[in-house]
Structure 1
Amino acid sequence: MSTEHKKCCDGCKKGQPGTNEACSAKLMMEALKKNQEITKTQEL
C-alpha cells in the first residue's frame, strides 16, 4: 500500500490533475475496508 501511496504522491508533485483526489479516495476506501474487517472479527 505504501508504494501505491508513494506513486500517488509522486504524481501530485508532478502536478498531474486529479491525482491527489483519486489517491486520497483510494486510501480512504482501503482504510474503511480494514476498519470493517476489524469490526467483523471483534463481533465474532
Structure 2
Amino acid sequence: KEMESGYHEVNFNASRLASGVYLYQLQAQDYVSVKKMILMK
C-alpha cells in the first residue's frame, strides 16, 4: 500500500495466527528493512 511520507501505524490482527516467530518487511523507495516479530499467546 503506497502512502505519503510521515508517521503511520498499522493494525495487525493476529487472532488466527499461532504463537511463533514471524518476519515483516518495511519498504520505502530505496530502503528495505526485514525484522522479526515474536507472537506469544
More strand by share: 2
More helix by share: 1
